């Protein structure tokens, strides 16, 4: 099958490309579309000789040229994953973030409709904002500030979901909407500012661990291979259903996560916890209700936190060492 993966040079996108190739015995033909804003070709380097992987450097915000649309004739599926996802990254150029979510999704829904392809978007637990209920079930409408510093992402993804279901209702476009909860693993950008990447990087570098606020806020962490399997299962489920939470319901406070990572890496005097101001509108709790994914998709996460963090630490250690070796050249 011809498959488009927008954001395919990013953390999740590149894992999706690997998974699709593996699942199809290298038969799928993959078109990666990425502007390399937060993604990197390093994530696809191992595929550079693969004739079934085509890389197109483009921003999803821009309308696809007629030539590009024609070249994508016959596509069966679009994984629309392009968007900065770490708060410091998506807040750096918030207007671009909103446009990525809204215009970008519009452009690829239009492409999906034209070639009768199925489109999955990676929406987010951020559509629930600072939730008033815990865990969050898909029927909960959320509690989102529409004018704050996180709004570009939260409201952008909410509008993207709206577009998906409106295309489905008015044009019969086949859509799948996954609400991704905090996902981590190898290939995360070393300094992308998110909790697991920051804590692992800081602990390995032997520098202080930055806890925002009191650290009593919670998140639930899903290992990347589980996330990718969940997205793939949702894409290949036969009918359009409403949004589906994909995440791991095991919930931890930020402090628990800091202690866990310090313990696993071996805490020293030089990596103490330091407390910083809590970012604006930082959700106090987050935990997915995954009943829908379990019952409709038969999917649930398998990788335990300890195992996932170990694999992440190993990957970060290797890349930090490579970086250091390069600097010593
Ligand atoms: N966080 C933290 N220290 C860091 C990075 C993040 O305490 O160095 C906190 C952040 O305030 C939030 C949680 O960890 O409460 C998860 O943050 P992340 O940026 O990973 O993603 P979010 O779930 O907020 O989108």
- 91, 123, 127, 195: residue to mutate for ligand 1 pocket, most atoms within 8 A of CB: 195
Q: What is the pLDDT of residue 327?
A: 84
Catalytic site positions:
153
Structure tokens given for 219: 């998140």
Ligand 1 contact, 182 CB (< 6 A): yes
* Residue 162 forms part of a structural domain: yes
Residue 76 lies in a domain: yes
Q: Is the residue at 328 inside a domain?
A: no
Residue 41: inside a domain: yes
Ligand 1 pocket check for 177: Cβ under 6 Å: no
Atom of ligand 1 nearest to the CA of 278: 11
What is the pLDDT at residue 329? 67
For residue 269, the model assigns a pLDDT of 83
Q: Whose CA is nearest to atom 4 of ligand 1?
A: 195
pLDDT at 268: 83
> Is residue 217 situated within a structural domain?
no
Instruction: Select from 291, 252, 39, 246 the least CA-distant residue to 127.
Output: 246
Residue 194, in any domain of the structure? no
Q: Nearest-5° angle of CA 43, CA 234, CA 192?
A: 35
- For residue 72, the model assigns a pLDDT of 97
Please tell me if the CB atom of residue 222 comes closer than 6 angstroms to any atom of ligand 1.
no
Closest ligand 1 atom to 86 CA: 19
What element of type H or E holds 316? helix 305-327
Which of 183, 178, 190 has the alpha carbon at shortest distance from 326? 190
| Residue written as token pair 């195992």 | 307
The CATH number for 67's domain is 3.40.50.720
User: Does any ligand 1 atom lie closer than 6 A to the CB of residue 135?
Assistant: no
- Check residue 166 and give its pLDDT: 98
Pick the residue whose CA is nearest to atom 24 on ligand 1: 282
pTM of the model as a whole: 0.98
Q: Which residues contact 301 (CB under 8 A, 6 or more apart)?
A: 222, 223, 226, 230, 247, 248, 290
Task: Tell the burial category of 188 from Cβ atoms under 10 Å away from its Cβ (0-12, 13-18, 19+).
Answer: buried
Cα-to-centroid distance, 207 and ligand 1 (Å)? 17
Cβ count within 10 A of residue 156: 27
Would you state the pLDDT for residue 120?
98
Domain extent, residue 13, equals 2-184+222-248+284-303
- Does the Cβ of 84 fall within 6 Å of ligand 1? no
Contact 127/179 with Cβ under 8 angstroms?
Answer: yes
Classified as helix, coil or strand, 53 is strand
Ligand 1 centre to CA of 194 (Å) is 5
Look up residue 309 and give its two tokens: 């963090």
Determine, yes or no, domain membership for 255: no
79: closest CA among 140, 23, 25, 135? 23
Spans in the chain with pLDDT lower than 70: 329
Which pLDDT score, from 0 to 100, does residue 302 have?
98
Residue nearest to atom 25 of ligand 1 (CA): 87
Q: How far apart are CA 83 and CA 153, in angstroms?
A: 9
Query: Domain total for the chain?
Result: 1
φ/ψ region of 97 (left if φ > 0, alpha if ψ in -120 to 50, else beta) reads alpha
Q: Of 142, 117, 116, nearest to 128 (Cα)?
A: 142
Pairing of strands 209-212, 244-246: unpaired
Q: Assess if residue 56 is contained within a domain.
A: yes
Site to substitute for ligand 1 among 85, 254, 276, most atoms within 8 A of C-beta: 254
């Amino acid at each position: 099958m011809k498959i488009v993966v927008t954001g395919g040079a990013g953390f999740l996108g590149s894992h999706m490309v690997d998974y699709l190739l593996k699942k199809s015995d290298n038969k799928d033909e993959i078109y990666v579309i990425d502007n390399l804003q937060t993604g990197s070709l390093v994530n696809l380097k191992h595929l550079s000789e693969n004739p079934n992987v085509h890389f197109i450097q483009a921003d999803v915000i821009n309308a696809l040229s007629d030539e590009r649309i024609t070249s994508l004739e016959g596509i069966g599926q679009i994984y629309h994953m392009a968007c900065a996802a770490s708060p410091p990254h998506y807040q750096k150029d918030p207007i671009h973030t909103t446009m990525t979510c809204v215009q970008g999704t519009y452009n690829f829904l239009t492409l999906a409709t034209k070639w009768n392809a199925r489109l999955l978007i990676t929406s987010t637990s951020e559509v629930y904002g600072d939730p008033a209920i815990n865990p969050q079930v898909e029927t909960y409408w959320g509690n989102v500030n529409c004018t704050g510093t996180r709004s570009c992402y939260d409201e952008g993804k909410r509008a993207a979901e709206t577009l998906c279901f409106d295309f489905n209702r008015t044009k019969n476009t086949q859509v799948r909407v996954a609400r991704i909860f905090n996902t981590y693993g190898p290939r995360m950008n070393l300094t992308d500012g998110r909790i697991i990447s920051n804590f692992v990087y800081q602990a390995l570098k032997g520098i202080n661990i930055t806890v925002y606020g009191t650290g009593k806020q919670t998140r639930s962490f899903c290992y990347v291979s589980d996330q990718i399997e969940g997205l793939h299962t949702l894409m290949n489920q036969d009918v359009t259903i409403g949004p589906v939470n994909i995440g791991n319901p095991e919930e931890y406070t930020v402090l628990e996560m800091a202690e866990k990572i310090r313990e696993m890496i071996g805490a020293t005097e030089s990596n103490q916890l330091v407390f910083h101001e809590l970012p604006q509108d930082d959700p106090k709790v987050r935990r997915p209700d995954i009943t829908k994914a379990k019952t409709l998709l038969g999917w649930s996460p398998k990788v335990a936190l300890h195992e996932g963090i170990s694999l992440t630490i190993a990957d970060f250690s290797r890349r930090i060492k490579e970086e250091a070796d390069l600097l010593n050249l």
